[in-house]
Amino acid sequence: MSSDSERTTVRTYIPAYQKEQWQAHAEELDMSQSEFVRTMVQAGRSGFESAAPETVESGAAESDSEEPRSPDATPGGGGLKDRVREVLADGDYYEWDDLLAELTDDIEERLEDTLQELQSNNEVQYSGRQGGYVRDE
């Protein structure tokens, strides 16, 4: 598989109401949530491309000018810390299992969406006979 078509995962954390809005809009457009977010990000980027003549995609070096960063950007895996702070901000006490559920609430849905996408791209297949998923080489 060439690097041009190789896929990777991108994660972000958004408020639950925003996710619900995105899901509803994706359904209206008959798109998966992943496809919707990918399309919206690409559409949003088109307005910025004229302001940035050199891009990493074209093989040019990144500019030395500082790019605007999200105020909650947390390089090095601090995203979980921010998410825990966010969940606990309401002042309620959370038992371990409840806190874990709050932090992983969408993992099953994300896994299902990802597996469906990989299967539709013929990258993964499910075998009931073998009892699981396997990469489709």
- Residue 130: the pLDDT is 87
Does the pLDDT value for residue 21 go beyond 50?
A: yes
- Give tens-digit pLDDT for 63-89: 443 333 334 333 444 577 888 898 899
Compare 68 and 101 and report the one with higher pLDDT: 101
- pLDDT on residue 3: 60
134 vs 4 pLDDT, higher one: 134
Give DSSP secondary structure letters for 93-128: ---HHHHHHHHSTTHHHHHHHHHHHHHHTTSEEEET
Question: Residue 94: is its pLDDT beyond 80?
Answer: yes
pLDDT-derived band at 134, boundaries 50, 70, 90: very high
Confidence (pTM): 0.35
Residue 131 has pLDDT above 60, yes or no: yes
Distance, CA of 102 to CA of 10 (rounded, Å): 20
How far is it, in rounded angstroms, from Cα 98 to Cα 104? 10
